[in-house]
């Protein structure tokens, strides 16, 4: 598993094959079949092993929302540190001992809430889907930006992202200055509501200014999802009283 992860870390998931992993270990590919039945099994084991490296940061004791935020963000950060993790087919990303520990950690965070097991599983499942969705958006846009910068500067496709100009990467992001793009595309006749909003229509009282928003797009989406979870928790608990 570790040998396969090292190949994926260095060269991406497409480079992982039974032959390539066996070569890195100094054995024949047939030797690997004594331990794993197929490449799909190897990928499933890799997914679970990678989850062992995700780290849950500390959060205030008894604050279940802060706990879920830390739980979700840690997994997004872990996936972004290993982009190949998000390239794994969903069918291979099954529950192993390390992934099950993350589910256990979520239940520990939710332990004192008056929710059923099914309701807690719904929350955990929703946040797990958010990890995959947010992580995939971040990884795909980052890859697209890196490819654009390499082409612009005539660099080989193998040039590591770490060697590219961070400012150039930021500007090459497909969603860079997205509001300006929308304003350019939205005409008052075809898209009246979007045009009015982008043209500076009055905002509701107390609305935050752009510079007062959360630190980054990941935090924005996560806070909105957690607002929904909080509302769900309050509604379910109130329904039993």
Residue 214 has pLDDT above 70, yes or no: no
Report how far residue 74's alpha carbon sits from residue 55's, in angstroms, rounded to the nearest whole number: 6
Distance from the Cα of residue 225 to its chain's centroid? 14
How does the average pLDDT of the chain come out, rounded?
A: 89
pLDDT bucket at 202, cuts 50 / 70 / 90: low
For tokens 């909105």, what's the residue? Answer: 224
pLDDT bucket at 206, cuts 50 / 70 / 90: low
Residues near 133 by beta carbon (within 8 Å), at least 6 away in sequence: none
Dihedral, 211, 214, 216, 219 alpha carbons, nearest 10: -160
Residue 71 has pLDDT above 90, yes or no: yes
Residue 6 has pLDDT above 90, yes or no: yes
First to last CA, the chain: 50
Report all structural domains of the chain as residue ranges with CATH numbers, in order of start. Answer: 53-200+212-238 (1.10.357.10)
Residue 140 has pLDDT above 50, yes or no: yes
Residue 237 has pLDDT above 80, yes or no: yes
At residue 231's C-alpha, the angle toward residues 229 and 235, to 5°, is 115
pTM, 2 dp = 0.83
Residues near 176 by beta carbon (within 8 Å), at least 6 away in sequence: 170
Q: What is the SS3 assignment for the chain? A: CHHHHHHHHHHCHHHCCHHHHHHHHCCCHHHHCCCCCCHHHHHHHHHHHHHCCCCCCCCCCCCHHHHHHHHHHHHHHHHHHCHHHHHCCHHHCCCCHHHHHHHHHHHHHCCCCCCCHHHHHHHHHHHHHHHHHHHHHHHHHHHHHHHHHHHHCCCCCCCCHHHCCHHHHHHHCCCCCHHHHHHHHCCCCCCHHHHHHHCCCCCCCCCCCHHHCCCCHHHHHHHHHHHHHHHHHHHHHHCCC
Task: Record the tokens describing residue 228, joined without a space.
Answer: 């929904």
């Amino acid at each position: 598993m570790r040998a396969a992860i090292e190949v994926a870390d260095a060269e991406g998931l497409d480079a992982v094959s039974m032959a390539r992993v066996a070569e890195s270990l100094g054995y024949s590919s047939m030797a690997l079949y004594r331990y794993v039945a197929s490449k799909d099994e190897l990928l499933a084991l890799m997914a679970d092993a990678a989850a062992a490296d995700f780290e849950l940061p500390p959060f205030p004791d008894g604050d279940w929302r802060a706990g879920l935020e830390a739980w979700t963000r840690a997994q997004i950060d872990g996936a972004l540190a290993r982009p190949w993790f998000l390239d794994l087919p969903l069918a291979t990303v099954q529950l192993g001992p390390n992934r099950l520990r993350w589910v256990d950690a979520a239940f520990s965070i939710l332990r004192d809430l008056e929710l059923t097991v099914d309701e807690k599983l719904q929350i955990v499942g929703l946040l797990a889907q958010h990890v995959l969705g947010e992580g995939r958006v971040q990884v795909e846009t980052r890859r697209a930006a890196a490819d654009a910068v390499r082409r612009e500067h005539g660099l080989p496709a193998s040039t590591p992202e770490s060697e590219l100009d961070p400012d150039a990467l930021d500007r090459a992001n497909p969603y860079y200055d997205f509001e300006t793009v929308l304003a350019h595309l939205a005409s008052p006749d075809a898209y009246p509501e979007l045009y009015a909003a982008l043209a500076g229509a009055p905002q509701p009282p107390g609305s935050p200014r752009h510079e007062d928003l959360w630190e980054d797009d990941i935090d924005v989406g996560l806070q909105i999802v957690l607002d929904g979870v909080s509302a769900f928790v309050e509604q379910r608990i109130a329904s039993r009283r």
